[in-house]
């Protein structure tokens, strides 16, 4: 196939796909428009019926009387049709948010009814005049109000013109005037089709653009959430990172100062972690960190804050927890870590942890940096005392570790 035809075929497929994608919204918009149009048309029809009911024509001329009677019947029939269709469309719009096959049927029926009315008025007008203005006006209104795919609109307007072409001969006997009226009708149909195509293209483009903007905003929101997560969490373990932990801990200390309560911090360090990396490789070491992080997270309360400080060090903030409770939690975590070897890449790796504990009594005040330094000092003591153990170090009243107060 020639590249030009291949490109054209691809473009046509894209157009058909886009048209199908917006048809539902277009139909619902058309239904809302037709609901208003039906009410307005009903008033106009009733006005014509009331006026033409007293029409006697110029000096009672029979052609004018027949014309007035036919126009009155046409408007009366159209009024009934608008009342029924308008009610059906109103009920559909109230009970449906999205389009359905029923909506497409109503849209088509309404448009065809309006176009049939346009043909009827023009045919009746040929009794006394060559006027086709009503036909052109109604066709243009249908083309602008009814959001139809171009192929659908083309079929509808071609069918309308064929009926118009044949029906005019019923009342217009002059060949020249008949040809003139048919040419006017053809111009009206062409303009209406162009208007319909333009309205459809503008609406479809607006809908597709709006959807693209919504998708873009959603993707942007997802990216923003992802960036916010990465900014506050450790990429390897999924725990809070150091900066976010410090921020949350400062907030907790402010809260505990306002509502006095004990607060404790645990510093957890895996023993001989460098040997694990050297023996099993860094990927295995990463998996060990992930498994230990999961165990630590499952071993504390949902209200506790746990973070990875870097390397093989973790930190846990225990709000509303005294030193006895913190020591119990630390001992539980130590036992959980060493309970059984971790299964990593086919290896059974035994891991132990040293834990330093420090805390603030509800009567004490200190910054998170001071509390962190005290827990780190307690961790150092645990390391120096043989590892795989828990050590506690209290703060002086001014927030200085007791072992450093000298």
What the chain holds in terms of domains, given with CATH numbers, is: 3-217 (no CATH), 242-404 (3.30.70.270)
pLDDT at res. 51 = 85
Per the CB < 8 A criterion, the answer to whether 324 and 230 are in contact is no
pLDDT of residue 55: 60
Neighbours of 278 (CB within 10 A): 11
DSSP for 230-244, written as a single string:
HHHB-TTT-SB-HHH
3-class secondary structure, 1: coil
Among 176, 312, 324, 391, the active-site one is 312
CA distance 318 to 265: 6
Kindly state the DSSP code that residue 263 receives in the 8-state scheme: E
By C-alpha distance, which of 161, 163, 152 is closest to 190? 161
**Scanning the structure block, which residue is given the tokens 């005019």?**
168
pLDDT at res. 367: 86
What token pair was written down for 199? 């309205």
User: What is the model's pLDDT at position 11?
Assistant: 61
What is the reported pLDDT for 22? 85
Backbone angles phi, psi at 349, to 5 degrees: -110, 120
324 in catalytic set: no
Q: What stretches in the chain show pLDDT beneath 50?
A: 400-406
| pLDDT for 364 | 83
Report the pLDDT value the prediction gives residue 18, as an integer from 0 to 100: 72
Alpha helices in 53-61, H assignment, sequence order: none
Q: What is the pLDDT of residue 405?
A: 39
Q: What is the C-alpha separation between 308 and 264, in angstroms, rounded? A: 17
Calpha distance 143→196 (Å, rounded): 4
* Confidence (pLDDT) at 402: 44
Which phi-psi region, left, alpha or beta, contains residue 401 (left: φ > 0; alpha: ψ -120 to 50)? beta
């Amino acid at each position: 196939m020639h590249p030009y035809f291949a490109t054209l075929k691809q473009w046509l497929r894209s157009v058909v796909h886009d048209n199908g994608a917006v048809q539902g919204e277009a139909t619902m918009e058309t239904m809302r428009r037709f609901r208003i149009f039906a009410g307005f048309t009903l008033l106009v029809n009733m006005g014509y019926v009331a006026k033409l009911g007293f029409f006697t024509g110029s000096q009672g001329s029979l052609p004018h009387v027949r014309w007035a009677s036919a126009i009155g019947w046409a408007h009366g029939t159209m009024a009934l049709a608008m009342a029924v269709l308008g009610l059906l469309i109103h009920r559909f719009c109230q009970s449906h948010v999205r389009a359905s096959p029923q909506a497409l049927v109503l849209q088509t029926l309404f448009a065809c009814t309006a176009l049939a009315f346009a043909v009827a008025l023009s045919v009746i007008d040929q009794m006394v005049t060559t006027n086709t203005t009503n036909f052109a006006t109604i066709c243009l209104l249908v083309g602008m109000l009814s959001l139809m795919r171009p192929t659908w609109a083309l079929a509808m307007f071609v069918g309308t013109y064929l009926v118009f072409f044949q029906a005019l001969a019923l009342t217009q006997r002059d060949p020249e005037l008949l040809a003139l009226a048919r040419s006017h009708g053809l111009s009206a149909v062409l303009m209406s089709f162009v208007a319909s195509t333009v309205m459809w293209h503008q609406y479809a483009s607006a809908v597709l653009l709006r959807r693209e903007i919504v998708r873009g905003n959603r993707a942007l929101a997802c990216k923003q959430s992802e960036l916010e997560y990465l900014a506050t969490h450790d990429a390897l373990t999924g725990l809070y990172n150091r900066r976010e932990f410090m921020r949350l801990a400062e907030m907790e200390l402010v809260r505990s100062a306002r509502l006095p309560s004990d607060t404790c911090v645990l510093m957890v360090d895996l023993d001989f972690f460098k040997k694990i990396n050297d023996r099993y490789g860094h990927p295995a070491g990463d998996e060990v960190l992930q498994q230990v992080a999961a165990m630590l997270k499952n071993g504390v309360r949902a209200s506790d804050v746990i973070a990875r400080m870097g390397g093989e060090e973790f930190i846990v903030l225990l709000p509303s927890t005294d030193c006895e409770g913190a020591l119990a939690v630390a001992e539980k975590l130590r036992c959980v870590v060493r309970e059984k070897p971790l299964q990593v890449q086919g290896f059974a790796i035994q891991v132990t942890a040293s834990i330093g504990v420090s805390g603030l009594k509800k009567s004490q005040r200190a910054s998170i940096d001071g509390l962190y330094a005290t827990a780190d000092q307690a961790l150092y003591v645990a390391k120096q005392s043989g590892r795989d153990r828990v050590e506690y170090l209290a703060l002086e009243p001014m927030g200085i570790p007791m072992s450093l107060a000298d």
